[in-house]
Amino acid sequence: MDESEIGISILAKAPIPGFSKTRLIPLLGEDGAAKLQARFIERTVETAREAAVGPITIWYTPTEWGEYFARYSCLSSVRLMPQEDEDLGCKMNRCVANRLSRFGELVIGTDSPCIQAIDLEAAASALLSRFDAVLFPAEDGGYGLIGLRMPDIAVFSGVSWSSENVLQETRQNLLSLGKQWGELVSVWDVDRPADVVRLAKSPAAELLQGIYVEAT
């Protein structure tokens, strides 16, 4: 696949104690939750680079933490952009509108360590050859990835973000707009303490090293 065909945008929150992964603080503490977020960011960038489907943009927040993310700017095909203060739908549409790729953009967060490079390759291929949009449905009713050939804010219109209806409402928007979409792998996010326990039993358990020890 030509490097300029399908890009990947990563929405990343800086690993600030008390700011990132706050729902994990009761289990991991502020420092532990922040350290896990840092590892999630690193893993997501590594996975995107391994997929090698096109240029990568890290959209980071808060904007004053640009120096932290600068460590990734030295990597080939990686660009840094600050997130705007707007709702999630506008952020994702902005990712697609400001893409460096020719034919579309995959937008992911950093909360789904189960996503692998082969999954991103499959999403890029599906978007390039078959669909107007692709989704990775998440178990919580959202999605861990959305890919679009072209920006269209209507895809995200009226979506109840941070609810169990995100996926269904996005599907309805895509249907109403007459877009063809594909739903590929099912994913899960690490948002709650129970998800940490699940992560500890997964192939990505090394992310918890020195942060969490599963009770025996």
Mean pLDDT taken over the chain: 94
Say what the pLDDT of residue 101 is: 86
Q: What domains are defined for the chain? A: 7-204 (3.90.550.10)
Residue, of 216 and 21, whose pLDDT is higher: 21
Contact 171, 138 (CB under 8 A): no
Contact 81, 60 (CB under 8 A): yes
On the question of pLDDT at 36 being above 70, the answer is yes
Q: What Å distances lie between residue 33 and 22, 72, 141, CA to CA?
A: 7, 21, 23
Pairing of the two strands 56-61 and 7-13 = parallel
Indicate the pLDDT class of residue 213, thresholds 50, 70 and 90. confident
Q: What are phi and psi of 119, to 5 degrees?
A: -70, -40
| DSSP category for residue 154 | G
Burial (Cβ within 10 Å: 0-12, 13-18, ≥19) of residue 74: exposed
On the question of pLDDT at 3 being above 70, the answer is no
Say what the pLDDT of residue 1 is: 42
Return all residues near 193 (Cβ < 8 A) that are at least 6 apart.
Answer: 23, 24, 26, 27
On the question of pLDDT at 2 being above 50, the answer is no
Say what the pLDDT of residue 5 is: 83
Indicate the pLDDT class of residue 215, thresholds 50, 70 and 90. low
Q: Other C-beta atoms within 10 Å of 27: how many?
A: 17
Chain length of the chain:
216
How large a percentage of the chain has pLDDT more than 70? 97
Q: Whole-prediction pTM value?
A: 0.94
What average pLDDT does this structure show over 80-94? 95
**CA 125/CA 136 separation, integer angstroms:** 14
Say what the pLDDT of residue 76 is: 84
On the question of pLDDT at 102 being above 90, the answer is no
